[in-house]
Structure 1
Amino acid sequence: MIRRLKKLEEDEQEEHIDESWLIPYADILTLLLALFIVLFASSSINISKYNAIMKSLKSELTGTKVDTKTAGLTVKNTQKSQKQPPKQPVTHPKSAPPKSANNDQDLENLKQKLETYIKKNHLQAVITLGDTQRGVEVTLKDYILFDSGKANLKPSSYKTLSAIVGLLNTVSNPISIEGHTDNVPIKNSEFKSNWELSAARAASVLHFFESKNIADQRMQFTGYGQFKPLYKNDTNKHRQANRRVNIVILRNN
């Protein structure tokens, strides 16, 4: 009987083997798992993925809540995995210069042709040229175009204006036609002030250009009256110089 009891006690001791070694073993496995996850995350340059993994590990090991719903390991980036079409190389014309450079050269050529025409026809006293920031300015004194106080073109001006038209058609730039007077008040019933007179003179030149097939959309006219003089209106010579029509071939923007 005693032997049987001892045998039973020995059998029970064999059945209850000490399992305390499982706790450190499980801890080691957990740490190894964490180590390999960190190593895997460190091999990627995706900072947001790394931060998400660290938050997930912190949540699992400390029991804290992760704020973001997107924390965790993303195996594939669907946007990057999509095939992108190959980029086409950008080609530039080798010999075509910038448009502004072409236009400046065209205006310079136009200015030279106008100078040649003025010298050939001995018009230096009544027509002057200027190369300004706005463009090429052709200034015609009023008496070559109009009678005093009138806005109808003299027939004698047609030849000069027709020659200018032929040169203007060598470029496509917009054209501004600008009338100017002196400060002597107008004394006829046709025009209320120098504003109306200067505008009417500019419009007459515009309509002549239109009749010579210069495109309407290229042209505009303005009447400045006596408010943009070249000189003070203190002498007859200065007042005569202030009475003028400017034809400005504007630079393209």
Structure 2
Amino acid sequence: MRARVSRRRRGQEPGNRDRWLITYADLITLLLIFFVMMFAMSRLDTTKYDDVTQALQNSFRSGDSILEMGSGLTGTADVNTTRNPPSNPEDERTNTGSEGADVLSQRELAFRQQEQELQELMGVIQRYVSDNNLQNQIFVADEPRGISITLSDRFLFDPGRAALKSGSAPTLAKLASLFRDLNTPISIEGHTDNVPVGNGSVYRDNWDLSGARALSVLRFFIDREHLDPTHFQYAGYADTRPAGDNSTEAGRQKNRRVEITVLRQLQQ
């Protein structure tokens, strides 16, 4: 009896192992149906596509471009604005090219005129220095930023002071007469050596002294010679921009100076 039951169970085992194939076959069938439906839905209707494409092309061709200040596709955009002129190379050269060339040429002419004035100014000052034997007191140089006029402190001030000497007035008045008709900014900069100011000085330090000396020269031009103050700027740099060696007396003397620079810069 037991042998008979065992043979029956062994005979049923192969059938039980193959039942998963039914589920697998159902899954494959469902996937096939899914992809068939997706493929059917994704097929393009060429007739409708051509109709839509033609309609869009007609709309853009007949529409007034907003980029050209038109009314757009709906006809409602920028209805109160003026359209740009047609893009014509001849019109562009006539309307904008000549105007741009005129502006550029005017600026170039202004720079050339300024450069001519600067060279003439330098020549006049050099002749004045030579005629009055001031070669050791006034130095003129053509630098990239402009015409630099360096005045020694011995020519302008007493030691440790910022009040102008009376003997410097004729030279400063001569410079003022040359600056009067210039249409360019003028920078006045005070410089000192690295020796600290004395304890009894009215100035706190070399910064204060250099700024006061530059201001004294500026005041001469504005208050006494009545030059336009909008053409001037001034600053004090103490000993931060030396022109000579502060370890020697000759170098320190060279550093104590006021520089007046007529800048290569057009007024706004």
State TM-score, norm by structure 2.
0.65
User: Cα 1:241–1:84, aligned 2, differ >3 Å: closer, same or farther?
Assistant: closer
How far apart are the structure 2 equivalents of 1:116 and 1:142? Answer: 21
- In structure 1, what is the equivalent of residue 14 of structure 2? none
Secondary structure of 1:239 counterpart? helix
Q: Percent identity?
A: 36
Match of 1:209 among 208, 221, 224: 221
1:73-100 residue CA offsets vs partner (Å, 9 max, x unmatched)? 356454589794894543556x965322
How far apart are the structure 2 equivalents of 1:122 and 1:190? Answer: 33
How far apart are the structure 2 equivalents of 1:117 and 1:229? Answer: 26
Unaligned runs of 5+ in 2: 1-43, 71-82
1:44-90 residue CA offsets vs partner (Å, 9 max, x unmatched)? xxxxxxxxxxxxxxx98534487779614356454589794894543
User: Cα 1:67–1:194, aligned 2, differ >3 Å: closer, same or farther?
Assistant: farther
1:85-144 residue CA offsets vs partner (Å, 9 max, x unmatched)? 894543556x96532222111111111111111111111110001111110100000011
Match status 1:197 vs 2:209: yes
The letter of the residue matching 2:191 is H
- In structure 2, what is the equivalent of residue 54 of structure 1? none
How far apart are the structure 1 equivalents of 2:164 and 2:263? Answer: 24
Which 4+ runs in 1 deviate beyond 6 A? 65-69, 80-83
Match status 1:73 vs 2:84: no
The letter of the residue matching 1:177 is I
Match status 1:120 vs 2:106: no
- In structure 1, what is the equivalent of residue 232 of structure 2? 219
Secondary structure of 2:203 counterpart? coil
Residue correspondence of structure 1 range 38-53 to structure 2 within 5 A: none
How far apart are the structure 2 equivalents of 1:83 and 1:126? Answer: 64
Instruction: Please report how far the alpha carbon of residue 235 of structure 1 lies from its aligned counterpart in structure 2 after TM superposition.
Output: 1.2
User: Cα 1:189–1:76, aligned 2, differ >3 Å: closer, same or farther?
Assistant: same
- In structure 1, what is the equivalent of residue 15 of structure 2? none
How far apart are the structure 2 equivalents of 1:182 and 1:72? Answer: 80
Q: Which moved more, 1:211-220 or 1:200-209?
A: 211-220
Q: How many residues align?
A: 195
Secondary structure of 2:56 counterpart? coil
Residue correspondence of structure 1 range 86-235 to structure 2 within 5 A: 87=91, 89=95, 90=98, 97-187=108-198, 188-211=200-223, 212-235=225-248
How far apart are the structure 1 equivalents of 2:120 and 2:184? Answer: 13
- In structure 2, what is the equivalent of residue 19 of structure 1? none
Q: Which moved more, 1:240-249 or 1:99-108?
A: 99-108
Instruction: Please report how far the alpha carbon of residue 209 of structure 1 lies from its aligned counterpart in structure 2 after TM superposition.
Output: 0.5
User: Cα 1:148–1:69, aligned 2, differ >3 Å: closer, same or farther?
Assistant: farther
Match status 1:62 vs 2:47: yes
User: Cα 1:77–1:126, aligned 2, differ >3 Å: closer, same or farther?
Assistant: same
How far apart are the structure 2 equivalents of 1:61 and 1:243? Answer: 90
Secondary structure of 2:176 counterpart? helix
State TM-score, norm by structure 1.
0.68
User: Cα 1:194–1:84, aligned 2, differ >3 Å: closer, same or farther?
Assistant: closer
The letter of the residue matching 1:205 is V
How far apart are the structure 2 equivalents of 1:134 and 1:224? Answer: 17
Give yes or no for contact 1:110–1:170 (8 Å, CA) kept in 2: no
User: Cα 1:67–1:213, aligned 2, differ >3 Å: closer, same or farther?
Assistant: farther
Give yes or no for contact 2:160–2:201 (8 Å, CA) kept in 1: no
Give yes or no for contact 2:197–2:206 (8 Å, CA) kept in 1: yes
